Structures are given as structure tokens and as C-alpha cells.
Chain A
Amino acid sequence: MQNLSVLTAQWVAPTVDYHGLAPELVVAGGLCLVLILDLFIDDRKKWLLSVISSFTLLAAMIPVLTLALSDVQVRSMFDGRYVVDNFSLVMKGVFLLSGYVVVLLSSSHVEEGEYWRGEYWFLLLSSLLGMLMMTSSRDLVSIFVALEFLSIPAYMLAAWRKRDTKSNEAGVKYFMLGVFASAVMLYGMSLLYGVTNSTLLVDIASQVTGTGEFSAVHALAVVFVVVGFAFKVSAVPFHTWAPDTYEGAPAPVTAFLSVASKAAGFVALVVLIYTAFPLAHDIWQPFFWVLSALTMTVGNILALKQHNIVRMIAYSSISQGGFVLMPLAVAGMSGSANSALRSVVLYMIIYAATNLGVFAVILAVSRKTRSGEISSFGGLFSYAPALGVLMTLFMASLAGIPPLGGWIAKFVAFQSLLSSQSSWAYALALIGAVNSVIAFGYYGNVMREIWMRPVPDGDITQIKIPGSLSLALGITSVATLVFGIFPAIGLHFADLAEIAGALSR
């Protein structure tokens, strides 16, 4: 009882920096608005909800920009458990903009399907809110809350097509494995709390060090936490949920999962290894080396065999994740830490632009073909040249062919990896180099369908692309090209993204 009284005596309300929280507050406001409006407006006016959602996301960009321009570099709240630094601002920008594109992708899809429209937008915004929180979380508890906040709506979104067994399978599989991953991670977190007596990442950093009391428990804790997020970013061998979930979920949701949700996983990983375990790099570096090599190779090889375009993109996105992980295999070495972080951020920015573009084309084409087979792209160039060229650009970007965005992302990843100049790094670089060639096998296959194969059934009716989808195509293709031809732009943002409180090495 005495303890409790001490606590109550010391309690002071934390000062909340409302400017720092503004992006989250705007999104929170927007999602409440969507939820309430959904109850009162007529069915025919439900399209308003998608407009509100998109404006909410754009409005949330405003505080992100004002925060970026303000003089205060780092805003720390709640004893450093919630931090708004440049890293989090850049990533918030990425999440909001890719969320905006996902809304554009979804609007016609959701309008035309027999879906629960209001709830769709509500869940999408909730998940995005979780991602925004994830970028700023610097405490095990807030990271976990953010993770669940972003995951649970995503589970429901995956199972959105209520009467479609595939969609149900997608949702259930995603949910089961996601919960399993959370459990593993929580176990790791509890171990961390046990040995360090704190949940604040910077406190943990000072305890989990390479010297002194470094023990098996530390190692286990670090590995468990990393494994938890390896599920989230679908790194091999924790990837098994991804293809089924991606295939079964509605296409815009898949776009969202493969871009935003994956990026959120990487955000958490990066924050953890840079602020909580920077000195435990002896544990996670080899772990990431293996994960990266396995992820890119297995993802690639399985992608080669796919006939369904979304499944292929699922495996391709697994393999791309391997390239994101690549520089983390040396991120603990002096001199490589900054470039590894830059590489991860840049990769996520460019990958988001390109992959959302891919889904925009898939959605547009499937409006006509009603098929998910890669062969349904046959002869696309002959009857829809614009879509054919765009898909070619996106595929080339994913394959890392200059001068499209993907090449600079891959290049910077290789550069960061090799900056460590260790022979392990060179070995991984060679694996990566070979993999980027294998990857062309399936990206090239799609190009081949588009340009060199006949149209299936000879059906060359024109594809009507709704305005929102055209806008999404425009944004993503321009971004893909600009990032590739003027790489300095993407690199500028990636370079800004410094994590406050990361141990400088």
C-alpha cells in the first residue's frame, strides 16, 4: 500500500506535444468520422467515405511537413517512449502516401464489390494509424501496441470477401501465424524485460552489450524479438503465410499488406537493432546474413514456378525483402551503420512506389480479364499499350534495371553491404547478384506475356480504367521513373532518416 501511495504522489500528467502527435490525431479523427458517417449516410452516398479517407491521409501529411520544417529536430514524449525524429517523419510520409495510393486502388474495387464499405475504410485507416505509431515507438510496450494496432485490422481486411473461401483462408492463415509470431516476440520481450528491468529501448541498449554480462538469455531474447518481426516482413523461413494470404485477400488489401505492412515490420526491426541492440550485433548480424540469403533465394526460386500473378508478386515481394535485409547483415560494423539504414529506408520508399504500381496495373487488367493467371496478360501491349508499357516499367524496376527506381535501391543495398569490406559481405553480395539475375526469369516472363504472346481468347475489348486508378498509376509510375533517373531525390529523404538515440558508431 505504501508503494502505491508513493506512486500516486509522484504522478504528474505527462506533457503531450500536440504538434508532434498531430499526424496520428488527424488520422484518428478521420477514422472516427468515417465510422460515424457510415452509420448515417445513404448507401448511394457511401463513395463519400473513400473521399474522406483519402483527404484524411493527405491532411495528415500537412503536420508531417510542418514537423519536418520545424526547428525542433527531435520531439521526445513520455520519457522517450514516443519519439518524433527524422526517421519517423520520413516513414510517416511513406505510410501516408502509400496509404493514399491504396485508397485510390481500393475505391472502385470496394464500390463495385458487395463489401462492407464503411468498415473497409475504417479498418484501413486504423491499420495505418498503427503504422504511424510504430515509426515513433521507442519502447517495447508501445512497439507491441502499435504492432497489434496495425495487424488486427489487417487480419480482418484479408478476410474481407466474406463468402470467398480463399479470402477466409487468407485471413485465418494470416491471423494464426501473426498471433504465433506475436507470441514468440512477446516471449522475447519478456525475457528482455527480465534481464534489463526496463522496457525503454535506450535502457535496454545499455544492458544488452557485447561485453560483460552478455548471456544466453540476452541472445535468446534478441533472436526471439527479431524472429517475431521476421514473420511480419515474411522473411524465409517465416514466410509461409504470405503467398496464401496475398492470393486470397482482395487485391488492394494485398497491395497494402505487401507494401505498408511489410514496411512497418522493417521499421520496427530497424528501430530495435539500432536503438535497443546496437551492441549485440554479434547475435543479429549472422542471423540477418542467413535470413537475407535464404529469403532472396527461396523467394526467387518459388516465384519462378508461379502461374498466378498475385502469388508471383507475393514470392517476389518475399525475395525483395531479402534485399532489404541484406545491408542489415553488416549494420553493426563501424562505418556501415548509417549506409545500412539509408539503404533500408530508400528500398522501402522505392519498393512502395513500384509495387503499388504493379497492383494498380493488376487491378486494371483484371477488370477486363477477371483472371489472376499470368497468361491473362498475354498481348496486353497490343490492345492496351499504356498499361503494357507501365507494367513493363514496374517489372523492370523490380528487377533492378536502370534507369528505373529499383536499380538505385538495389545498388545502394549492395554498396552498403560492401562498405564493410568483409569477405562475408562479398559472399552475400555474390548471392544477391546471382539472385537479381534469377529474378529476371519471372519479371521477364510477365514482360514476355505482355509483348510477345497472343491475347487469350482473342478478346481485345478496351479496358476502362476508373479515374482513381489512373491517378494511382500516374503517381506510382512517375515516382518509379523519377527515383531512378534522379536518384539523389530518393537518397535525400533516405539520408534524412536518422533515428534519434541510435548509438552513434
Chain B
Amino acid sequence: MNMLQENNWLLSVGTFLPMVGVVLMMLMPKAKDQSVKLVALVTSIATLAVGIYTAFKFDFDQAEKMQFVANEKWISVIKSSYLIGIDGISLPLYLLSMVITLLVVIYSLDHVPSPGKPKAFFSLLLVLQTGMAGTFIAQDLILFFVFFELVLLPMFFMIGVWGGEQRQYASIKFFLYTMFGSALMLVAFLALFFKTGAESFSIPYLIENGGSIGKNLQVWIFAGMFVGFAVKVPMFPFHTWLPDAHTQAPTQGSVILAAVLLKLGTYGFVRIALPILPSAARQWAPYIGGLAVIGIIYGALGCLAQTDMKRLIAFSSVAHMGFVMLGISTLTSFGINAAMFGMVAHGLITGMLFFVAGSVKERYHTLEISKLGGMLTQMPHLGWIFGFCTMASLGLPGLAGFWGEFPAILSAYNPGAGLNETVFRVFMVIAALGTVLAAAYLLWLYQRIAFGTPKNSEHDSHSTHDELHDVTTYEWLAWTPLLVGILVLGIVPNLLFSVFDPAVQVTLSAFGG
């Protein structure tokens, strides 16, 4: 694989800059909350600035090549190196993680969830950022694994300390599920390493040599990776941690979880599992596709049954990630492009939905759908933003959600070589039904919350109407970029497709075109 090595310091700086912020905060033992917030804000702005500079320097005409590649010695004894690089697949996700972190920081300036402790909260946010960005740039399996795991602890604490009533249960469940997946994944990585001659953990090397592993063994190694990534996505039946984690997590945690962390799993499939083990991927594809459509329908039905707004959005994530996985399982460039787009779109839209849910909770002190209503009359701006996001989420053409969902369904009509067409066309039909259900649960949700007359629940009977202020400045600051992004990507999807496509083609070359 060709690699471009200019400016190879850029990615490391972009990834580890947040840690500088963390260290700064640690060095200010008696710091006031304001200065902690300032450090967090400056660090995340600087990080995004480095990210944008990276995008400027990125050679979009060679998006299929790894760029800014750095290859340093790290653990030579076990043949793992600090090999990082970025191509068309990872660049948008890398930037997404930086944008989301900055927006979450902005949102948190005004909304540090109870029980406070802003220093710890912002430190964890920044550590999370390093882990997420690192996962998208790692080109060595061990390095990937380290970053992949690095996000676990901060998220564990974010849910467990700043979360809702059931936070302790939810955080442990989240952690055990993901850790179980990654333990099996690690065994799979090791098996891969030894079966390719114990030469290197570098992903490009393994892509070249992974195909030579016997087919039966490939299927087993793929199984290990599958569990690791599928838990993270999450795919049915490994999804049960997600509704709990999302419901209990603070708004910021939910946003990051939905917008970036879930993508680590799907990204792992595209970057690692498929290109390294092509024949196993072909073997597994119908099962992955099957679980994906089960996830779509199951998620949708789950949504219809929810009485809690945040939990409903969480279940909708299961359905949306089902579309992403369906796209991946077709093993076509069309499907994987759609999946990549779906990842970014879902990040923006669902992230935004969780922001709205957080604001609703803050104002009404409840997320019970039955106790909400009339948002449009009380807070028109928030109501319209919420409407915009539900439309985007159900896949309205012209907004970003459409370009992830529709092509994914379409791609199942013509699955890649060697896959059973009938099976995938059945999947297509089921997935299409899923979009109907999506429209149903989202419109119903919107109707119940935004329309009608306001209800005065017993919870805030004591509170005056002044508390129901409309969207605040901090919220506008944090949300506008997401709303603009959803609209722009909906109108000009080619902005992203043109970046993904060359790299997706390279990924698929393992399947013989």
C-alpha cells in the first residue's frame, strides 16, 4: 500500500493535544471551575484547529492512500509499532470526533451535570477524545486495541458518576459487555498475528497476508473480531447494554456515545475485519446482514414500546446501526459507502437528538413521553429543532439521514460477488419496512412531545413558567454546527462520498473488485 509520509507529526499532535489539557488541569490543584472550563474549551478548540489543518493538508485526490503516515518503534519485542495514518475512510470520522468533543465542551460550559466536579468531568471528556481520535488513526492492531480500550474507563465513569438513577448498574453493564468483546477480539488479533507468520501487527501488512490463512480458521478469527466489534456497534443480540447506558448517561455522555463510540465498532469492521479476512467476511456476510435487519426491526419495535424519550432515541440507534451493518454486509462499494455515510449522519443526527433530550430533561425534569406535550407552543425554537432532527432521523430526503439509509437498502438489492441474492433481497424488503416503522415511531414521538397543549406534571407544579426558557446561547453555539452539518450533507452528500469512495474501493480490492 502506498503511504504518504509528509507532515507525519500532524496526527500525533491532533490526537494527544487533549492530554495536554488534562495534564494542565491536573497541575492546577486549586483551580476555579471557570479556569478548568477555559482550559477544556481552549484545548478542544486547538484540537479541532489541528484537525481542520489536517483536512487542509489532506490530499483529497489521493484519498485512497494512507496519509501523514508515521511509523515509530513502540514495542519492537512483540513486533508492534506506532504506525498511524489516515485515509478517506478515517478522516471524516477523525474530524467528527473532534467536532463532537468541542460541541460537547461548549454545551457543558453551562451544563455540568450533577454532582458537578467539572475538573474530573472535563478531564474525562478530553481523555475520551484522545481515545476516539487514536482509534481512527491507528494502523497497527495493538495500537488500535489500546485506543479502543482507552475510551472505556472515561465512559464508565461518565455514566457511573454523572448519570441517572440506575447509573451504577448501567455503567458496569456497559463496561462488562465491551470488555468481554474486546477480550475475544484480542485473542483473535493474536491468532491472526501468528497465522500470518508472527511478523507484524501492522494493518497494511495483515491485509496483504491475511488472505493466505485457511478458510476455516479465518471464519473462527473473524468470529472473535465480530464479537468485539458487534458489541460496540451494537448489533442484535449484543445490544442490551445500549439502552441502559444511554438512558442513564448524562447528556454529554449519550451524545459522545451515539455520535462517536458506536462508530468504533462499524469502523473496525470496515478497516480491519473485512479487508484482512475477505473469505471469512463473505462467509459471515449473510449472518451479519440477517442480524442487521433483525436489529432494524427489533430496534423499531422497541422504540414503539418505549415510554421514555431518551430510551426511545437509544433504541432508534440500534435500528440505525442496523442499516449501517446491512450496508457493510453487502460487501459492495455502494453498500460500504452508504454505511460510512450512515455513520457520520447518525453521529450528527442522534447526537443532536440526545442534546435535545438533555435540554428537555433539564426544563421539564422528566423524559416520560406521557408527561410531555406542547413543546411548540412553550418553546418554539426547541420544538422546531427537535422536529428538524426527527425528520432527519427518519430519513427525509434532503437531510443527512437519507443518504445513509436509502443507499444501504438499495445496495442489498445487488450484494457483492458470492453472496446469495435472494437472501439479501429479502433483507432489503425487511429493511425497507424498517424505514416505515422508523417514520411511525419518530412522528409519533414528535406528535406526543411537540404538539398538543402543555401538561403541568406534578413534578414541576412548583416551578414557574420562567424555567421553561427557550434555546439558550450556549445551546445555540453547540447545536448550530450540527444542524448546519445535517442540512449541508443532506443537500450535497457528495462532499463525503467523494472522500470515502476511493478508500472504500481499496478496502474492497481484497474481494477481487
Contact = CB atoms under 8 A, between A and B. Distances in A.
Contact of A430 (B146, B160, B175, B187): B187
A403 B146 CA distance: 6
B176 A437 contact: yes
Given A381-B120, A396-B153, A440 B176 contact: yes
Interface residues of B, number: 37
Nearest to A404: B153
B74 A418 contact: no
B146 A415 contact: no
A414 B186 contact: yes
A489 B206 CA distance: 26
Contact of B161 (A411, A451, A495): A451
B9 interface: no
A402 B150 contact: yes
Contact of B157 (A419, A429, A451, A491): A451
B46 interface: no
A460 interface: no
Contacts of B152: 401
B246 interface: no
B194 A418 contact: yes
A418 B78 contact: no
B156 interface: yes
Interface in A423-439: 426, 429-430, 433-434, 436-437
Given A430-B187, A491-B77, A437 B146 contact: no
A418 B175 CA distance: 26
A125 B399 CA distance: 73
A407 interface: yes
A448 B172 contact: yes
Contact of A488 (B74, B120, B145, B157): B74
B77 A401 contact: no
B470 interface: no
A381 B75 CA distance: 34
A415 B184 contact: no
A488 B77 contact: yes
B146 A444 contact: no
B146 A385 contact: no
Contacts of A429: 187, 190
A414 B149 contact: no
Nearest to A453: B168
Contacts of A402: 145-146, 149-150
A437 B179 contact: yes
B444 interface: no
| Interface of chain B, main secondary structure | helix
A452 interface: yes
A436 to B, nearest CB: 6
B153 A401 contact: yes
B82 to A, nearest CB: 10
B112 to A, nearest CB: 15
Interface in B154-198: 156-157, 160-161, 167-168, 171-172, 175-176, 179-180, 183-184, 186-187, 190-191, 193-195, 198
Interface in A280-303: none
B149 A401 contact: yes
B419 to A, nearest CB: 29
A504 interface: no
A432 to B, nearest CB: 8
Contact of A451 (B76, B160, B179, B193): B160
B73 interface: yes
A26 interface: no
A210 interface: no
Interface string A188-205: 000000000000000000
Interface string A308-338: 0000000000000000000000000000000
B186 A418 contact: no
Nearest to B77: A491
Nearest to A412: B78
A419 B78 CA distance: 11
Contacts of A441: 172, 176
Counting chain A CB atoms within 10 Å of each CB, the highest count among B117, B179, B193 belongs to B179
Nearest to B159: A452
A418 B191 contact: yes
A418 B176 CA distance: 24
Contacts of B160: 448, 451-452
Given A407-B146, A411-B186, A440 B120 contact: no
A408 interface: yes
A440 B161 contact: no
B2 to A, nearest CB: 28
A433 B175 contact: no
A372 interface: no
A106 to B, nearest CB: 29
A12 to B, nearest CB: 44
Contact of B194 (A342, A407, A412, A421): A421
Nearest to A335: B198
A342 B180 CA distance: 26
Contacts of A80: none
Contacts of B198: 419
B179 A440 contact: yes
Interface in A442-468: 444, 447-448, 451-452
Given A430-B184, A448-B172, 6 more contacts: A401-B179, A415-B78, A433-B186, A441-B172, A488-B74, A488-B76
Interface of B: 73-78, 117, 120, 142, 145-146, 149-150, 152-153, 156-157, 160-161, 167-168, 171-172, 175-176, 179-180, 183-184, 186-187, 190-191, 193-195, 198
Interface of A: 342, 381-382, 385, 392, 396, 401-403, 407-408, 411-412, 414-415, 418-419, 421, 426, 429-430, 433-434, 436-437, 440-441, 444, 447-448, 451-452, 486-488, 491-492, 495
Q: Which 3 A-B pairs have the closest CB atoms?
A: A433-B183, A402-B146, A491-B77
16 contacts: A381-B117, A381-B120, A401-B149, A401-B152, A401-B179, A411-B78, A414-B190, A415-B190, A426-B191, A433-B187, A436-B179, A436-B183, A444-B172, A452-B160, A452-B168, A487-B75
